[in-house]
Amino acid sequence: MKTKDVIYMIYYEDEQSVSSMGIEFNDFISCLTFDLENILLLASEYAGEDFHSGLGLEFVINENLNELYNENVHSYGDFCWVDFNDVSALDNLEPQEKAELLYLGHYKQPLASPFFDKLDNKIVYLAHDDGWFNKVFYKDINHYIDVLRQLISFRLKSYKKNVLPLSLEVGKELALLAKDGVLIDLYRIIKSRNGVEIPFNVIGKINDFDDVYNNMERHKAKARSEYWLVYKNNEWTIKSYK
């Protein structure tokens, strides 16, 4: 079993963030429903064309983003970034704002707000060994719902083509369940001529992802209910089995 065969995620509603295992940068970018303008790299080994001397950080402008998207960012170790709208905004950051950005990249948590008025960032993406530990802050939580809706169908491409995204209602239902830690078993997928069924469990908020991965069966056995994401007749539903 590979890490990509499972998805574990915790949705922290109070700070509009999601911690996850099994969701990689490529998954995330492919499932975003809006285009990013530019990216400021807070921690990475990426060496692109643009470097901001005042921050001491690399950034990637819009026309070069595809090059970054095709990088093996898992190999970087730490991979942290925020999006921003206007390159000139980088020149106007105050020392406190610069300090907060550097803190974000180093500690993978905000010193104050993860969002900066001058950057007008919508996303804060903080990862270590991308796909193993990722934490994403969303300025608009509907963007998380949209990523979640797209993610399942995106990951099913190798199993079944042309699977529709989750409906908005099902996406919201899954996000609510993720507040208590959802473990999705993509390796136990059941395929049929008419559809797909994917089991998942609500196993609680566990911040030790090594524990989640190494003791997966124990955590599932302790879960109160088993759920299934069911795709049939071009529609998704969530079914629960006590």
* C-alpha to C-alpha distances, 82 to 14, 54, 139, nearest whole angstrom: 20, 17, 11
Residue 64 backbone dihedrals phi, psi, to 5 degrees? -105, 5
DSSP 88-144: GGGGG--HHHHHHHHHHHHHSS-SS-S--TTTT--EEEEEETTTTEEEEEESSHHHH
Higher-confidence residue of 99 and 161: namely: 99
Residue 123's beta-bridge partner residues?
138
Q: What is the pLDDT of residue 165?
A: 95
Q: What percent of the chain has pLDDT over 90?
A: 85
CA-to-CA distance for 117 and 111, rounded, in angstroms?
15
pLDDT of residue 146: 97
Residue 85: the pLDDT is 96
- Choose among 126, 91, 125, 97: nearest CA to 113: 97
* 145 closest CA partner among 18, 26, 14, 30: 18
Q: Write down the mean pLDDT value for the chain.
A: 93
43 pLDDT higher than 60: yes
Predicted confidence (pLDDT) at residue 51 exceeds the cutoff of 70? yes
CB 200 within 8 A of CB 229: yes
Q: Do residues 116 and 102 touch, judged by C-beta distance below 8 A?
A: no
Mean pLDDT in residue range 73-79: 94
Range of weakest confidence among 108-112, 115-119, 223-227: 223-227
pTM for the full predicted model: 0.94
Q: Is the pLDDT of residue 242 over 90?
A: no
Residue 55: its pLDDT value, please?
94
Average pLDDT over residues 170-195: 92
pLDDT of residue 162: 81
CA distances from residue 105 to 36, 60, 81, 94 in whole angstroms, order as listed: 19, 16, 7, 17
The pLDDT confidence band at residue 1, using thresholds 50, 70 and 90, is very low
Check whether 155 has a pLDDT greater than 80. Answer: yes
**Tokens, residue 44:** 């990475």
E strand or H helix at 172, and its extent? helix 168-177
Percent of the chain surpassing pLDDT 70: 96
Buried b (16+ CB within 10 A) or exposed e, 93-105: beeebbebbbebb
